[in-house]
Amino acid sequence: MRLRKLMLFLVLLCIGVLLYGCKNDDGSLGIVDGHKYPETLKITMLSRDIYHNDGQAITRDSVVKYMEDKFNVRFEFIQVPGSQEEVFSKLNRMLSVGDVPDIIEMRTDMAIAGDLYESLIKADKIVDIENYLEGKDEQYPHIYQLTQTQEANTKMYRSDDDVLAMIPRYFGTIDHGFIIRKDWLDQYELEVPQTHDDLRNVLETFVEEKPGGVKNIGLTLPNTWWFGHIYAGFTGANNWTIVEDGNGGYDYKYAMTTDGQRNAYRYLNDLYENNLLDKDVFTSKDESDAIAKMVSGQSGVTMMGVTYSAPKILKELKKANENAELVYVNIQGPQGPMRLYLSSYFEGAAISKDFKDVPRLFDMIEYILSDEGQMLLNHGIEGKHYSINESGDIEVSNEQKTLREEEGWLGRPHGLRAMFDVSQVIDENFSEDHERINAFISGLEEPGMMLKDPLYGIKTDAEVQVGSAPWDHAGEYTIGFVSGTYDIDDNDVWKYDFVETFYDKGMQRIEDEVNSLYEPNSN
């Protein structure tokens, strides 16, 4: 509670500072005669995603230099390596002294982030995107298209006063899946797991046989958030599911209170009790920790974003074992695939009104989203990072590949693109088995392979009012049920201690409001 009050105090302080004072630096760095944009300007950009796939912060590599020359700017990247919470804590501190970054990573589905978004809008410090684009849809077609998405018209992007003050960021398919050591499966003549039982058998074999030559810790995950993918296989839902109301109709019900959720806890508890689940899952480690455990041979199974994480793992594995191979699977549970598909959109970029040349920022973002910009930020500079052959196909020489690797972005789009579009791109050297990777990614697009929350992006008044109490309670019992501290098979513990208390702490109010506002579709 004290932390929450402190955050609110800082937000109020931000509003005051933003209204009555700001930095004097206008970002001007000189003049370039004859340039489309003669005045050289500094652009400050705040995000956790402005880094390369080796974890290094972006500096002035060739692509950044190309963009700087094209728009006569100099980027000043404000990287925040870590969680989204750290981004908005950093932003809070910057705003408290009147320092508004020119381009800001933004979202509304976290308390402090939502508060800062509202304060920036009320202080008239960020651009109202819809107002700015009025009559300019032909000038900025890609940005305009993002404002027309269904997601852009939900509380995920709009303020309390229905202002859209950030450009929705297209994230592409969220390709989370299990990453498994295929060479270890082959070593013990195991099939690629397709079910919960198959996965348990693989984990048990790896733990008993220790194919990495060290103690095997079983399934490793960065933190308990990733349990949600496994829950989905048992509940058939992300957060909200649809149930019969007993009167011939349907209601929304929070999936965490269903029997399917209880079975998911039983499954995870079984893995935990039999040392088939990494005990560090409760300590909220960074993804790099789980990657390190795969690379060091402590684990042969993890779950992460495949197109981002698998290349990192495989590259390091190959250094020690040239025969190392990975396989990627999406295990089917009793109610659905063991993954969850959230949404193609959930973050955005806010633009400071104080920037000296706001139209230039929009020109730059429109370029990034254009076909030419996407080619640059996916493949680099033609003739330097790739070549086009006589058939019109992209070719990358070993020298060009080495340059990309040296600049830190081999295997993923260039980090400069991340603020506006991080849809997945499969690098030609992603792995040695293109067919399997493409089949996996294509499979995510097939009907029935996505578990999408019909209420994703919706934030109810009741949810704001009750705060974190129900989710704090659920988090405590998640740890308890999985670790065995709480007996998942004790009906009183499940029904009264967990479910009823979960509703008493605020979920009942949230569920009632959801069902009063939204009509579930039985299909």
| Segment (H or E) for 78 | strand 73-79
> What sign has the CA pseudo-torsion 304, 346, 283, 46?
positive
**CB-CB neighbours of 475 under 10 Å:** 12
Please name the residue that has the structure tokens 């070719």: 395
What residues contact residue 64 under an 8 Å CB cut-off, 6+ apart?
58, 75, 416
43: left (phi over 0), alpha (psi -120 to 50) or beta: beta
Residues paired with residue 394 on neighbouring β-strands, in sequence order = 388
Give the amino acid at 69. D
Cβ count near 288 (within 10 Å): 13
Of the CA atoms within 13 Å of residue 279, those in its CB half-sphere come to 5
| 441 close to 481: Cβ distance less than 8 angstroms | no
For residues 339 and 232, is the Cβ–Cβ distance under 8 A? yes
| DSSP-assigned letter for residue 386 | B
- Give the H/E segment covering residue 17: helix 2-20
CA end-to-end span of the chain = 41
Rounded Cα–Cα distance for residues 371 and 386 (Å): 16
Give residue for tokens 């042969």: 300
Report the alpha-carbon distance of residue 37 to residue 70 in Å, rounded.
9
Residues in CB range of 393: below 8 A, 6 or more apart:
none
CB atoms within 10 A of CB 247: 7
d(CA 157, CA 153): 7
Q: How many other CB atoms are there within 10 angstroms of residue 106's CB atom?
A: 27
pLDDT confidence of residue 19: 45
**Which tokens sit at 495?**
């029904």
Q: Pseudo-torsion of CA 152, 116, 49, 137, nearest 10°?
A: 30
What crossing angle do the helices spanning 358-369 and 62-71 adopt, rounded to 10°? Answer: 130
Closest CA to 293 of 222, 223, 230: 222
Which of 257, 266, 290 has its CA nearest to residue 496? 257
The structure tokens listed for 437 are 């990777």
**What is the DSSP secondary-structure string of 427-450?**
-TTS-S-HHHHHHHHHHHTSTTS-
| Nearest C-alpha neighbor of 297 from the set 274, 324, 270 | 324
Report how far residue 411's alpha carbon sits from residue 414's, in angstroms, rounded to the nearest whole number: 9
Q: What is the pTM of this model?
A: 0.69
Q: Is the Cβ–Cβ distance between 114 and 346 less than 8 Å?
A: no
Q: Which two tokens stand for residue 483?
A: 């670790």
Yes or no: say if 107 and 419 are a contact pair by the CB < 8 Å rule: no
Torsion of the alpha carbons at 185, 188, 194 and 195, rounded to the nearest 10: -130
Q: Which of 121, 77, 116, 97 is nearest to 23 (CA)?
A: 97
pLDDT in tens, the chain (523 residues): 444 444 544 554 545 544 444 444 678 888 999 999 999 999 999 888 777 655 667 888 999 999 999 999 999 998 887 667 788 888 899 888 889 999 999 988 777 888 899 999 999 999 999 999 999 999 999 999 999 987 787 778 888 888 999 999 877 666 788 999 999 999 999 999 989 999 999 999 999 999 999 999 999 998 898 998 899 889 988 788 888 888 888 999 999 999 999 999 999 999 999 999 999 999 877 778 888 999 999 999 999 877 767 877 888 888 888 889 888 887 888 887 776 555 566 789 999 999 999 999 999 999 999 999 999 988 899 999 999 998 888 888 999 988 888 887 766 678 888 788 877 655 555 555 556 666 665 665 555 555 667 776 667 788 878 888 999 999 999 999 999 999 999 999 999 999 999 999 999 999 999 999 888 864 5
Percent helix, strand, coil in the chain, to 5, is: 45, 15, 40
In one-letter notation, the amino acid at residue 216 is: N
Distances (CA, A) of 309 to 25, 31, 305: 39, 42, 6
Give the separation between CA 478 and CA 273, rounded to whole angstroms.
15
All structural domains of the chain: 23-173+344-418 (3.40.190.10), 175-340+429-523 (3.40.190.10)
